[in-house]
Amino acid sequence: MSIEAPSAEVLERAAAASSLLVATDFDGVLAPFDSDPMRVAPLPGTMDTLRALAALPHVHVAVVSGRDLETLRTLTGLGDDEAIVLIGSHGAESSSAAVREAMEAAAVTPDDERTLAELRSDIEALVRQSHPGAGIEYKSAAVVVHVRGLPREVGDAAIADARRVALDHAGVKVLKGKSVLELSVSHADKGSAVTALGRHVGAAARVYLGDDVTDEDAFMRMTRPEDVTIKVGTGSTAARYRLDDEPAVAELLTELCRLASAAHVAG
Ligand SMILES: O=P(O)(O)OC[C@H]1O[C@H](O[C@H]2O[C@H](CO)[C@@H](O)[C@H](O)[C@H]2O)[C@H](O)[C@@H](O)[C@@H]1O
């Protein structure tokens, strides 16, 4: 069944909720892709729209990402003193104490740290040396092999070798994202972290925007009638609605902000 963008009525209802959580993924949603993972930036104006939403008394805002927390801080430009919650490493890290506490059971253990160190050295030996064009990103709980911009067969070969590395280690989660393969020792997921934040703020309605497989964990958990889950781009999804691309996200956030401000004034 094809799914559409949320209607004006759907957005109006969410904007008028007594307490609204707006959670959004980063890469491919707020920020367009680039072959260099550190060269990306949110579309102009989007962070200010999120700040304006977060300034409304009935709205809570979170940026949720596979990026580690430090990188997410850098790329969003959000400081610790801001009202927007950051959730990084697919839910394993957060600027919110409530989310960190809720995710404690999923924390990385000393055994996981050892596995991560082994993964790093195996990826260096088996992927970097055989596929010098592939990018390697080191995160606090994962190693990511990047193949964006490489010829198809070169990228496929690097990803296949990275999968072989994962198979050599117990307890490694393999996440296939867009032109990336992530080998992770984290037990967290975005859905658990976002729903924990929703409980903490007492959200009566929750909006979630995401573009990748890891966002499906959030879409699958957010099935209340008041929830507005939005897949950005093509591909099968558990989300209720779809938007084409990052500019469409920027427009939706602007409209949501306008409606939530009006609901606040009226309310
Ligand atoms: O959860 P997200 O915010 O969507 O982060 C997912 C991954 O994003 C990054 O990779 C993606 O963006 C890169 C920069 O545009 C691009 O080169 C890559 O092909 C994309 O998959 C990031 O580097 C990963 O660590 C994140 O897990």
Looking at the chain, the domain(s) classified CATH 3.30.70 span: 110-184
CA atoms of 211 and 231, how far apart (whole Å): 5
- CA count, 13 A, side-chain hemisphere, 71: 19
In ligand 1, the atom with minimum distance to the C-alpha of 144 is: 25
pLDDT value of position 59: 98
25 lines ligand 1 (CB under 6 A): yes
Helix%, strand%, coil% for the chain, nearest 5 = 45, 20, 35
* C-beta of residue 204 within 8 angstroms of C-beta of residue 226: yes
Closest C-alpha to 72, from 241, 190, 173, 185? 190
20 pLDDT exceeds 80? yes
Mutate which of 175, 180, 232 for ligand 1? The one with the most ligand atoms within 8 Å of its CB, which is 180
* C-beta of residue 207 within 8 angstroms of C-beta of residue 20: yes
ipTM: 0.98
Alpha carbon 60 to chain centroid, angstroms: 16
pLDDT value of position 267: 72
37 lines ligand 1 (CB under 6 A): yes
Looking at the chain, the domain(s) classified CATH 3.40.50.1000 span: 8-105+188-266
Question: How many A from CA of 146 to the centre of ligand 1?
Answer: 9
What would the CATH number be for the domain defined by 8-105+188-266? 3.40.50.1000
Question: How many A from CA of 145 to the centre of ligand 1?
Answer: 10
Query: What are the residue numbers of the active site?
Result: 25
257 lines ligand 1 (CB under 6 A): no
40 lines ligand 1 (CB under 6 A): yes
Mean pLDDT of 90-107: 95
Backbone phi, then psi, for 129, in 5-degree steps? -70, -35
* Structure confidence by residue, pLDDT tens digits, 34-73: 999 999 999 999 999 999 999 999 999 999 999 999 999 9
Backbone phi, then psi, for 163, in 5-degree steps? -60, -40
Report how far apart, in Å, the C-alpha atoms of 28 and of each of 201, 221, 250 are.
26, 21, 12
pLDDT value of position 266: 87
Write the secondary structure of 41-73 as one string of H (helix), E (strand) and C (coil): CCCCCHHHHHHHHHCCCCEEEEEECCCCHHHHH
pLDDT value of position 80: 84
pLDDT value of position 1: 63
* Structure confidence by residue, pLDDT tens digits, 188-244: 999 999 999 999 999 999 999 999 999 999 999 999 999 999 999 999 999 999 999
* Structure confidence by residue, pLDDT tens digits, 149-166: 999 999 999 999 999 999
pLDDT value of position 2: 84
Closest C-alpha to 159, from 190, 198, 126? 126
Mean pLDDT of 160-177: 96
Question: How many A from CA of 35 to the centre of ligand 1?
Answer: 9
Question: Where does the pLDDT of residue 93 fall: very low under 50, low under 70, confident under 90, or very high at 90 and above?
Answer: very high
Mean pLDDT of 122-141: 96
Question: How many A from CA of 37 to the centre of ligand 1?
Answer: 6
CA-closest residue to ligand 1 atom 4: 27
> Candidates 3.30.530, 3.30.43, 3.30.450, 3.30.70; correct CATH number of 110-184?
3.30.70
In ligand 1, the atom with minimum distance to the C-alpha of 31 is: 15
